[in-house]
């Protein structure tokens, strides 16, 4: 049976390397002001760096962070949908395009920018050669303050699978039927819903809690075998 691991930043290793990367995606869907649940919100963890919105005549409408009424948010989301992966849910504040910002210093093979997972070209290709499935990455637009900067890519880690209802408090309201907001905090002891987990990829995000990156045992074993620094693993139960 496949084992699954919560992939997080190894902060001690990041401090040891000493470098940093900071940026934001070039385009984004607006947040939403929902007339049904009354919430003004945007999701975190939904990012598609390989999706280029420059071909849209309306691309400038995706450059500024702001909340919009649900009807306007829906209009903008439908403009983007044909360019996004077929299974993308595209909640409010979904990000697109390259990460724009700055970076400096020596960086670990895996680098985090908040919930965004970055990787150098060589480690990515070595993982793919090891048979790790479904890894997709695109160039960043980070400006380095050094000569001969590394080629740093952003992994497009798409949401798949779900947290099991058993780890979600029973008093949490169901998702809003209009905007989809599901106001849960991350459980202290996450459980993955086994039937929802993908079988075609070794790295993904949790669909209903997208800040959580999950790797399979194949991904974990390849990372450890190749001595790739920057991430830690915590095994999660499935049910």
Give the residue-averaged pLDDT of 117-136: 97
Average predicted confidence (pLDDT) for the chain: 96
pLDDT at position 148: 87
- Evaluate if residue 208 carries a pLDDT over 90: yes
Q: What are 204's strand-pairing partners?
A: 214
- Evaluate if residue 118 carries a pLDDT over 90: yes
How is 204-237 classified by DSSP, letter by letter?
EEETTEEEEEEEEHHHHHHHHHTT--SEEEEEE-
Q: Cα separations (Å) of 7 from 55, 104, 167, 205, 225?
A: 34, 24, 19, 10, 16
Domain assignments of the chain as residue spans, ordered by start: 4-11+158-236, 23-96, 100-155
Residue 19: closest CA among 145, 131, 197:
145
Residue with tokens 């504040």: 93
pTM: 0.95
Assigned token pair, 60: 């400038």
pLDDT at position 98: 97
CA distance 23 to 95: 12
| pLDDT band with cut points at 50, 70 and 90 for residue 147 | confident
Give the residue-averaged pLDDT of 150-159: 96
* Residue pLDDT, tens place only, 86-112: 999 999 999 999 999 999 999 999 999
* Residue pLDDT, tens place only, 159-190: 999 999 999 998 889 999 999 999 889 999 99
- Evaluate if residue 146 carries a pLDDT over 90: no
């Amino acid at each position: 049976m496949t084992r699954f691991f919560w992939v997080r930043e190894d902060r001690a290793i990041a401090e040891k390397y000493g470098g940093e990367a900071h940026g934001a995606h070039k385009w984004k869907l607006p947040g939403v002001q929902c007339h049904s649940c009354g919430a003004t919100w945007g999701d975190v963890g939904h990012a598609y760096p390989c999706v280029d919105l420059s071909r849209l005549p309306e691309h400038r409408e995706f450059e500024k962070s702001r909340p919009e009424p649900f009807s306007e948010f829906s209009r903008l989301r439908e403009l983007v949908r044909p360019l996004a992966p077929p299974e993308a849910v595209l909640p409010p504040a979904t990000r697109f395009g390259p990460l724009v910002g700055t970076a400096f210093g020596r960086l670990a093979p895996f680098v985090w920018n908040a919930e965004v997972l970055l990787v150098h070209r060589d480690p990515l290709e070595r993982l793919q050669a090891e048979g790790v499935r479904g890894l997709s990455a695109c160039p960043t637009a980070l400006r380095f303050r050094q000569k001969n900067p590394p080629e740093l890519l952003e992994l497009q880690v798409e949401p798949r699978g779900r947290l099991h209802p058993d780890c979600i408090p029973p008093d949490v309201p169901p998702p809003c039927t209009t905007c989809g907001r599901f106001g849960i905090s991350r459980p202290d002891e996450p459980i993955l819903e086994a039937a929802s987990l993908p079988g075609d990829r070794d790295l993904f995000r949790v669909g209903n809690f997208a800040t959580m990156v999950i790797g399979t045992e194949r991904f974990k074993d390849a990372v450890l075998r190749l001595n790739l620094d920057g991430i830690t693993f915590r095994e999660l139960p499935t049910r």
